[in-house]
Amino acid sequence: MKILVTGGTGLVGSAIHNLSILYSNYEFIFSGSKDCNLINYDETLQYFIKYKPDYVIHLAGNVGGLFKNMNHKVEMFEDNILINLNVIKAAYHIQVKKLISCLSTCIFPDKIVYPINEEILHNGPPHTSNDAYAYAKRMLEIQTNAYNHQYGTNFITIIPTNVYGPHDNFNILDGHIIPALIHKCHIAKNTNTVFNIAGTGKPLRQFIYSEDLAKLIMWCLELYNEKTPIILSNDEKDEISIGEVANIIANEFDYRDNLKFDETKSDGQFKKTANNSKLRLLNPNFEFIDIKDGLKKTIEWFKLNYDLCRK
């Protein structure tokens, strides 16, 4: 049985790749942007026809942190609309047995009663800082439901919280918050300058380590067959502020005394607390790695792979 992983060379795809040795009953195909331009439908379809996967784990997309979402709204909307449209159409064309597509908690409504759950996805507009990306991802969920309803497909969507880990994009301007902070702290220590954090540090987030998400995706592939989305997140009690994350990173670099917050910069959405009760009901014994341990592993990988990692 073949599994095609789009975005297979990225953060989560790499984590699945590392776990694939545990799943010897599958043949994995890890596809990156150099292998197939998913924005082009003809190229996407021919790629799917060539490999004929039985299952597809769709992770590919144009993604980035707060400021990329704010400053490149057109690309974040159009690229992701096209990528998702083409992958679903191609998966249906070759009649894959199951397709798992990855959403994000940033697509939930901004003005909402917390914690968020799977049923309130479309109950209001997302935060303006990432609305273009968020609406593109919402359309992925809409398209998935349409195919299931009209054609009886087994297409599902998963909603992870903020993912971090090895093989991330550590670009300071376009990366997500944890890899950007890791790279910032690395530079600050090496140049003996301020480790500057954009914003107040007060916003709250739930972070999931990439290997944990990879394990849960494989669990979804084999055991989750509901047609409604499922939030893949650690527990609400594990929510942590950006400031706390920055301090953990500074401690790992032994650079605690030169950290400052630039309160003139946007904080983005203050919180997006996710309720993982559906996951806990179906997979009650799953154990998440602690944020401190996950950050330690990520920083160690970053240091060892600094010359080669995306940045």
Residues carrying an active site annotation = 133
Tell me if 272 sits within 8 A of 203, measured CB to CB: no
- Strands 98-102 and 27-31, sheet pairing: unpaired
Q: Which two tokens stand for residue 13?
A: 């795809």
Distance CA(265)–CA(137), nearest Å, equals: 26
What does the alpha-carbon distance between residue 31 and residue 68 come to, in Å, rounded to a whole number?
Answer: 24
Give the integer Cα–Cα distance in Å for 9 and 55.
17
Spatial separation of the C-alpha atoms in residues 249 and 184, rounded to whole Å: 10
Judge residue 49's burial from the number of C-beta atoms within 10 Å of its C-beta, 0-12 exposed, 13-18 middle, 19 or more buried: exposed
The three-point CA angle 114-116-118 to 5° equals: 160
What 3-state class would DSSP assign to 131? Answer: helix
In whole angstroms, what is the distance from residue 209 CA to residue 297 CA? 10
CA pair distance 189, 195, nearest whole angstrom: 8
Q: How far is CA 186 from CA 106, 215, 243, in A?
A: 27, 29, 17
For residue 115, whether the previous peptide bond is cis, meaning omega lies within 30 degrees of 0, is yes
